[in-house]
Structure 1
Amino acid sequence: MKKLMVYSHDTFGMGNVSRMLVICRHLLKSIPDLSILLVTGSPIIQSLRLPPGLDYIKLPCLTRTDYEAYSVKYLGTEIGETIQLRSDLILSAAVNYKPDLLLVDKKPTGVKDELVATLDYLKSDQPDTNLALVLRDILDSPENTIPVWKMRGYYDTICAFYDLLFVLGVPEVFDPREEYQFPRSVSNKVRFCGYLRHESGTRSRSEIRTELGLAEADKLILVTPGGGQDGFKIIATYIASLPRVQAKHSVKSLIVCGPEMPEAQRQTLHQMIRQNLNISFHEFKNDLVSYLDASDVVVSMGGYNTICELLSLKKRAILVPRAEPAQEQYIRAERMQSFGLFTVIHPHDLAPELLAHELLGELNHTHNRRALSRPDLDGLPRVAEWVSTLLFGSRKPLSSVDSGSTHVSLRRGVTA
């Protein structure tokens, strides 16, 4: 049996752990006799469906208070002592689980360096353990990312500890080697894998539309701000835009506010909806992909997972990306819009009139969509190939590979 340990810190929203679970599910299907231990601080991990072969260790929750700033979410303890507790738990997991491969999401040394003790231990006491860093397509703007990576020594950490760096994107959309000024020693470890294709939902489009009471001529608009922690404005603006949309189309709405939306905001939205029978309001949907597939238009933020779902389902969508404190979502949305894939509204410009105008454009199919420019979606099998190489191959040749330019094409989806 091969053992894979996965670190996913999740201090804001539910995107990181959801993405890593998508990867873990595919790895368990692709690699026989694999055991996965997920170490995460996500508060919603117990609500997610976990595949056989995977278990998790729950770290005390943190929350992001500002750019690169964190506080303790529930315990009421100081951030320093909580980070130490988390660090000790991660190290204990590595010591006792003895992974063949450690897969680290996003931060090379973890939140506030909580992974450093584990990295040092693995290098000195378990030198046969391979390490891979997983980066989504975009972390943040270069202006924000480069100073942080230099200050925290991330470039040196990658050189010293990591065998490979998986980028879950394509360089035609965003090339971190150039945008973030990776040294050659780091660039050589980069493997562009492509975006992650999401599987179809467990229920059919017709089944979902019947459940929601849609007639054949009805249009379904799904609104989802991800975890919902900062999604109130999007939903409130959508509700205010509906009279203009409903004047032109027979529309039913499914709003999934997210499990992390504050209770007071949820109650305010309930009051705005009142007894409107054409709006279905939910906190969470375990099989959201089925509902996305049944929809005619989606209104969402611009998180990585949501974009992958929309691309996989070839959905018309209006994106209202988060633009602060991190600009990752806005940059991604703008790049996708430049390929004609989605409509984007900057959150500062969001207003009922504008949203209604864009919704009508999507419902009327007046916005052209260039299907040939869809980014490559074969990220999961490529990640599985590289993980298999790290699990079953020789470490030293991989660490010295000088072909870090391996990437996939935006239009044709082929390795180049």
Structure 2
Amino acid sequence: MLHHPTPGDHPFRARGLRVLIYSHDTFGLGHLRRCRAIANRLVTAHEGASVVIISGSPIIGQFEFADGVDYVRLPGVVKLPNGDYTTSSLRLPLDETVAMRQAILLETARTLKPDLVIVDKEPTGFRGEILPALRELRRNGARIVLGVRDVLDEDEVLAGEWERKGAVDALVEFYDDIWVYGLERVYRPLAGLSLPPETRERIVYTGYLRRELPEKPQSVRYPKVTREPFVLVTAGGGGDGEEMIDWVVSAYEADPGLSVNALVVFGPFVERTRRAAFMERMAQLPRIDAITFDAKIEHLMSRSVGVVAMGGYNTFCEILSLDKRALIVPRRVPRLEQTLRARQAARLGLVSMLDGALLGPGARRDPMLMAEAIRRLPEQPLPSSVTLPHLLDGLDSIEALTRRITAGERADRPGAAARRA
């Protein structure tokens, strides 16, 4: 096992905090938005800080970042329906693409020489690609943190997956801290893992990541349905949201008396032909319209009377931050993450929920069930009616944790207030 440096081994450098944030994911928007929120907060909180996000997202360039934040794009990979992976753009074998990604990660780590490294969700990265970089970073005295969302998957499923990947071993060998971007009262994502006591003691529940409204977009024209009270229907990245969108559209087709308007935001990963088919159907319906994508969707959410969504982590944080009534229709495949989060949130009274099993291929969905849920949405209680201490303290906690690191203090068990929430 490699030596875990103490802060005395690597005092904060006067050249300004340097942070490397790694997210392997190339599908969806949640990972990217989470990394961006953390990066923007760190450069705001630490004068002279620089943050590099290294990601496989094909749309990372469509987002704005604060001064001091930049990104490195890894060659993309995509998951096939059978669970295998392939390259998304390059005409290279997958193993050669992974080798290229691994080399980019290693060289970025060597060149940046970060003080702090935040790895998003996967302790070993995609197919172990980050392990050589972690060894290099450990030798250079970086503090290495695993950041995970509030829910990963069912305990037994996660335990088997991490066993196959060697993730627990990597967690013990390389990581100084584990930040859970949620509340222990809501969910304990690592509870089912066999972690050594000293590793479990390094888990900190930060609270959810509060989202602020970004700078208002200029010269943006939204569809006419947004001029009256409307429900925002968001499928996140959209790659797995077609069934939910279909259910919403069918509700407006089946119930002409559904009086609240709806705006669908497809997301950038809905296939063009499917998007065109939805638009053709919606052209016959006066109260529903759609746009493809909005990098500043927070403004639409803020204006809406409620949100219909699948309930990924990022959307959930936005719902809480903007205090929006929400109807969650969580997917159940390829993992139960969204379902587990929605169940807990509904139990606490933060959202309402429809059974995501009805999103499965070939499922027979009742359009009137969705229509009635949308009709009730503007009248349900706001999330703020539920009192949960430290619910949205995530970014504040992360700022405090990084200040302890830069001050050279031990940070094995900081954020006690957040842990007790």
Superposed displacement of residue 212, structure 1: 4.7
How far apart, in 1, do the equivalents of 2:366 and 2:194 lie? Answer: 37
- The equivalent residue for 1:342 is 351
Task: Please point out which of 200, 208, 212 is paired with 1:199.
Answer: 212
Superposed displacement of residue 393, structure 1: 1.3
Query: Does residue 235 of the first structure (1) align with residue 230 of the second (2)?
Result: no
Query: Does residue 372 of the first structure (1) align with residue 372 of the second (2)?
Result: no
How far apart, in 2, do the equivalents of 1:404 and 1:150 lie? Answer: 28
Greater shift in the superposed pair: 335-344 or 383-392: 383-392
How far apart, in 1, do the equivalents of 2:286 and 2:135 lie? Answer: 58
Query: Does residue 188 of the first structure (1) align with residue 207 of the second (2)?
Result: no
- The equivalent residue for 1:257 is 266
The amino acid across from 1:76 in the alignment is R
How far apart, in 2, do the equivalents of 1:275 and 1:239 lie? Answer: 11
How far apart, in 1, do the equivalents of 2:336 and 2:102 lie? Answer: 28
1:362 alignment partner, SS class:
helix
Contact conserved, 1:223 with 1:298, CA < 8 A, in 2? Answer: yes
Superposed displacement of residue 379, structure 1: 0.3
Task: Please point out which of 139, 162, 179 is paired with 1:149.
Answer: 162
Superposed displacement of residue 388, structure 1: 2.4
Show CA shifts across 1:293-335 (max 9, x none): 1111211111000001001111111111121111111100111
Query: Does residue 351 of the first structure (1) align with residue 372 of the second (2)?
Result: no
- The equivalent residue for 2:127 is 112
Contact conserved, 1:4 with 1:99, CA < 8 A, in 2? Answer: yes
Runs of 4+ aligned residues of structure 1 deviating over 3 Å after TM superposition are 66-69, 179-182, 201-204, 210-216, 243-246, 275-278, 366-370, 403-407
Superposed displacement of residue 140, structure 1: 1.0
Shift of the 355–367 alpha-carbon distance from structure 1 to 2, 3 Å rule, reads farther
Greater shift in the superposed pair: 103-112 or 73-82: 73-82
Show CA shifts across 1:169-191 (max 9, x none): 01111113424343312211111
Identity of aligned residues (%): 30
Shift of the 117–67 alpha-carbon distance from structure 1 to 2, 3 Å rule, reads farther
Contact conserved, 1:72 with 1:78, CA < 8 A, in 2? Answer: yes
Gaps of 5+ in 2: 1-15, 359-364
Please show how residues 170-185 of structure 1 align to structure 2 within 5 Å.
Answer: 170-185=183-198
- The equivalent residue for 1:99 is 114
Contact conserved, 1:190 with 1:404, CA < 8 A, in 2? Answer: no
Superposed displacement of residue 367, structure 1: 6.5
Superposed displacement of residue 244, structure 1: 5.4
1:55 alignment partner, SS class:
strand
Task: Please point out which of 61, 78, 96 is paired with 1:63.
Answer: 78
Show CA shifts across 1:189-224 (max 9, x none): 1111000111035459xx99x9554698x4301111
Task: Please point out which of 204, 222, 231 is paired with 1:221.
Answer: 231
The amino acid across from 1:178 in the alignment is A
Superposed displacement of residue 30, structure 1: 0.9
Please show how residues 6-405 of structure 1 align to structure 2 within 5 Å.
Answer: 6-65=21-80, 69-124=84-139, 126=140, 128-203=141-216, 212-213=223-224, 218-243=228-253, 246-249=256-259, 251-274=260-283, 276-349=285-358, 350-363=365-378, 365=379, 371-374=385-388, 376-394=391-409, 397-398=410-411, 401=412, 403=413
Greater shift in the superposed pair: 177-186 or 234-243: 177-186
Contact conserved, 1:254 with 1:281, CA < 8 A, in 2? Answer: yes
Contact conserved, 1:67 with 1:325, CA < 8 A, in 2? Answer: no
Greater shift in the superposed pair: 149-158 or 56-65: 149-158
Superposed displacement of residue 38, structure 1: 1.1
The amino acid across from 2:206 in the alignment is C
The amino acid across from 1:311 in the alignment is L
Q: Give TM-score scaled by structure 1 length.
A: 0.89
The amino acid across from 1:269 in the alignment is F
Superposed displacement of residue 3, structure 1: 1.0
- The equivalent residue for 1:412 is none
Superposed displacement of residue 370, structure 1: 7.3
Contact conserved, 2:182 with 2:207, CA < 8 A, in 1? Answer: yes
Could you say what the CA RMSD is over the residues aligned between the two structures, in angstroms? Answer: 2.5
How far apart, in 2, do the equivalents of 1:374 and 1:75 lie? Answer: 47
For these two proteins, the number of residue pairs brought into alignment is 398
Shift of the 295–167 alpha-carbon distance from structure 1 to 2, 3 Å rule, reads same
Shift of the 41–366 alpha-carbon distance from structure 1 to 2, 3 Å rule, reads closer
Gaps of 5+ in 1: 410-414
The amino acid across from 2:128 in the alignment is D
Contact conserved, 1:171 with 1:407, CA < 8 A, in 2? Answer: no
Shift of the 267–215 alpha-carbon distance from structure 1 to 2, 3 Å rule, reads closer
The amino acid across from 1:238 in the alignment is V
